[in-house]
Chain A
């Protein structure tokens, strides 16, 4: 066996859950990038000129 002592081995369910969570985080971050891009286009150069 080449397993190092104390190393955590994920079960299939844990791997599936981690992959699903990673994809969800990637989608959320991608959506946030698109949102900021679109809002920048909508607001134009005045994107930071907003009412306080």
Chain B
């Protein structure tokens, strides 16, 4: 893949263009009565992202100390899922202008003209209010406050600010995707302790290599939309270096629940093996720099990173159940 001419982060789209586009498209793209289907609204909630959020929160709910009634646990997960969906809808509302420019996102409901931007905005706000309100009333207000902060951070800090202004967008913005286990823990215990913070750190350090692997094969897309992703601003070589660094840091972070005595040997072994494999996939990305091999290595890392997180959390759950 040829490296694109590097763009400076300062020259990227300024804040506010997304909202301006959203407002104008609401008036022009979808005129008259809506033809949006239920499926279009489901797509607006980013169901694939939602599934990972729900899974990590589910594990946290299951391993948290103390007893929670299954109905309350289900309610907490439902609210976390709906909150994640709300954040996804608000993200698509704000990013409709750049979504239309990228092949990966051009088929989303707003750029495709299925849903007006204003409808997506209203949908997102209503869902967010319901998710936070119901979580507060039926579970507890600490979990609700954390969910509200997560939605705010994803929409206002990541989407509206960081995404278009710095190559560190997904590093800092990754905090939003890392919070669901903390919310799940707070829903059960009413507090926060070291264990959910470790789960937060695992997802936080997992996010950069995961997204940068994707951005390596979508560099032209991001450059066209003038999003200052690391490969666009600093180049593919620097991105490969950063992927390697974050993957190496991820190994001890992933094993931390075991190293600090919060998980059993089964989890420790899995974390070390999975972490080593993650570093090996990152090393392949680092070594294969040109042509189809480079794209294939990045695809493999992206795919494995999803498996890595799933396996780590699944084994953590099994470990907690077996270890008692």
Give the B-binding residues of A (Cβ under 8 A). 8, 10, 13-14, 17-18, 20-21, 24, 32, 35-36, 38-39, 42-43, 50-52
Known contacts A14-B35, A20-B38; is-contact A39 B140 (Cβ 8 Å): no
Which listed segment binds A: B67-75, B208-216, B241-249? B67-75
Asked if B47 is at the interface of the complex by the 8 Å CB criterion, the answer is: no
Bound-state CA distance A10–B72 (Å) is 42
Bound-state CA distance A18–B41 (Å) is 12
Decide: B190 and A39 in contact? CB cutoff 8 A. no
The contact of B190 among A17, A24, A51, by CB within 8 Å, is A51
19 contacts between A and B (CB under 8 A): A8-B33, A13-B35, A14-B34, A17-B35, A18-B33, A18-B34, A21-B34, A24-B41, A32-B134, A35-B75, A35-B78, A36-B138, A39-B72, A39-B75, A39-B138, A43-B72, A50-B141, A51-B141, A52-B142
Bound-state CA distance A7–B224 (Å) is 42
Asked if B32 is at the interface of the complex by the 8 Å CB criterion, the answer is: yes
| Nearest CB in chain A: distance from B79 CB, A | 10
Q: Interface code B22-53, partner A: CB below 8 Å = 1, 0 otherwise?
A: 00000000001111111001000000000000
Residue of B nearest to A13 (CB): B35
| Nearest CB in chain B: distance from A50 CB, A | 6
Give the A-binding residues of B (Cβ under 8 A). 32-38, 41, 69, 71-72, 75, 78, 130, 134, 138-142, 190
| Nearest CB in chain A: distance from B48 CB, A | 20
The contact of B71 among A10, A17, A21, A38, by CB within 8 Å, is A38
Bound-state CA distance A43–B106 (Å) is 46
| Nearest CB in chain A: distance from B200 CB, A | 21
Bound-state CA distance A18–B38 (Å) is 9
Bound-state CA distance A17–B115 (Å) is 12
The contact of A20 among B33, B37, B138, B141, by CB within 8 Å, is B37
Decide: B36 and A21 in contact? CB cutoff 8 A. yes
Residues of B near A32 (CB, < 8 A) are: 130, 134
Bound-state CA distance A28–B72 (Å) is 18
| Nearest CB in chain A: distance from B140 CB, A | 5
The contact of A52 among B32, B75, B134, B141, by CB within 8 Å, is B141
| Nearest CB in chain A: distance from B119 CB, A | 10
Known contacts A35-B75, A38-B71; is-contact A21 B33 (Cβ 8 Å): no
Decide: B138 and A8 in contact? CB cutoff 8 A. no
Residue of B nearest to A15 (CB): B33
Q: Top 8 A-B pairs ranked by shortest CB distance? A: A51-B190, A24-B38, A14-B33, A42-B71, A17-B35, A39-B138, A51-B140, A20-B38
